[in-house]
Structure 1
Amino acid sequence: MTAQEKPRTVRLSVADWTSAALDLLVREGVAGVKISTLCAELGVTKGSFYWHFVDINALMAAVADQWCASQNDAVRGLDVLATMPVEQRLEWMASLLIEDRAWSVERAVRDWARTNEQVAASVQSLDQRILEVVTNTMEELGFDEADARLRAGTLVYAGIGFVHGRGSLPTPTLAEVRDIIAVLTSGNRPLA
């Protein structure tokens, strides 16, 4: 082993491992998160991994805990968002729809949620909270409850579609997202 290939001597924390595993999950999917790959990327031996985790399942449980905690923070951020003036709130939501890193993580986590109940519950909770905030925004704009929910649902489903369409469909620009929001927020008349 050359000096350049020598494993790290700095002890990694659980947070280092979970962060690296989440990055690998985003790049390779759940099946790509392997102990040997993580050790190679972090420049450590498998002994370092086993110092913190019994097995890969324990690591993935820690990653799920970390991600779910960050989503709880996101939900708390939605509470702050709900207090913003409507125009500022809509602009903030539009900018989120085109942020590459957020959508890469979102896509990977939604795929992971298909096989992990804890992650699935967190995704569902966050989706419900986002729908609630967007529905309330539409009601503040003067739409009745049914029309507000229809318009909010359209925006939320479009956002989820942006997640899964990335790479195979053109990514909308901020101006295009603003136009979509303008179409759904213009006029106080039912869509149907």
Structure 2
Amino acid sequence: MARTTRARWVEAGLEALAQGGPDAVRVETLAARLGVTKGGFYGYFNGRPALLAEMLDEWERRCTREIIAQVDAEGGDAVERIRRAGQLSFSEGFHRIDLAVRAWARHDQSVAERLRRIDNERMEFLRAMFGTFITDADEIEARSTLAFALAIGRHFIVVDHPGYTRREAVHLAGEHLLRPPR
């Protein structure tokens, strides 16, 4: 039987995290999900805390650093780059993991500190992008905060939007934020 890779363990851990939070990330459960024995786990990880740390590393790399690097490489104006970063960052798969990390951070100070650092990186990206076409510092901060809150919070919006689907209303709000100042 082929050995289960480290990446598969991390991926299974992220999926378990998204489905049930950090308590759902259990070696025995992951092994069963992967169809392997838990012995292979210890060839890669020095226990569950090491897996959890690597899962956070993967979330940070995949959901922030790689996205910003991809958006930078693809270029375009600031509005196109903000749109692209939002589409990539908050695709359904990434968004589920991001929400799970946020819930975890409410109960774990080290996760909260890491989340704060990553959110600050994301906000700096937004500030830099909005700063290319807006000069007022208050407006840059307001738009960056609103765009970030919309990206994260859209999942929690359950209000009816007469004449619009929830997706259309969220898109409309995002486009409004990206308009040049008058």
Task: Provide TM-score, normalisation by structure 2.
Answer: 0.78
1:93 CA displacement: 4.5
Of the candidates 52, 60, 64, which is equivalent to residue 68 of structure 1? 60
The answer for unaligned runs of 5 or more in structure 2 is none
The more displaced of 19-28 and 69-78 is 69-78
Bigger radius of gyration among the two: 1
Of the candidates 166, 172, 175, which is equivalent to residue 182 of structure 1? 175
Contact kept? 1:94, 1:177, Cα under 8 Å: no
Residue 38 (str. 1) matches residue 30 (str. 2): yes
Which secondary structure state, in structure 2, belongs to the residue aligned with residue 140 of structure 1? coil
Output the amino acid matched with 1:141: F
Cα deviations across residues 67-90 of structure 1 (Å, max 9, x unaligned)? 333333334345x17952134224
Of the candidates 104, 114, 138, which is equivalent to residue 146 of structure 1? 138
Residues 136 and 115 of structure 1, relative CA distance in 2, 3 Å threshold? same
Higher relative contact order (Cα pairs below 8 Å, separated by 6+ residues):
1
Map 1:46-125 → 2, pairs under 5 A = 46-70=38-62, 71-77=64-70, 80=72, 83-93=75-85, 95-96=87-88, 99-117=91-109, 119-125=111-117
Output the amino acid matched with 2:174: I
Output the amino acid matched with 1:104: R
Cα deviations across residues 114-147 of structure 1 (Å, max 9, x unaligned)? 3455543442223222222222333333341111
Residues 90 and 57 of structure 1, relative CA distance in 2, 3 Å threshold? closer
The answer for unaligned runs of 5 or more in structure 1 is 1-8
Output the amino acid matched with 2:50: A
Task: Provide TM-score, normalisation by structure 1.
Answer: 0.74
Output the amino acid matched with 2:175: A
Identity %: 25
Output the amino acid matched with 1:172: R
- How many residue pairs get matched? 177
Residues 186 and 14 of structure 1, relative CA distance in 2, 3 Å threshold? closer
The more displaced of 13-22 and 56-65 is 56-65
Residues 52 and 95 of structure 1, relative CA distance in 2, 3 Å threshold? closer
Instruction: State the Cα RMSD in Å.
Output: 2.9
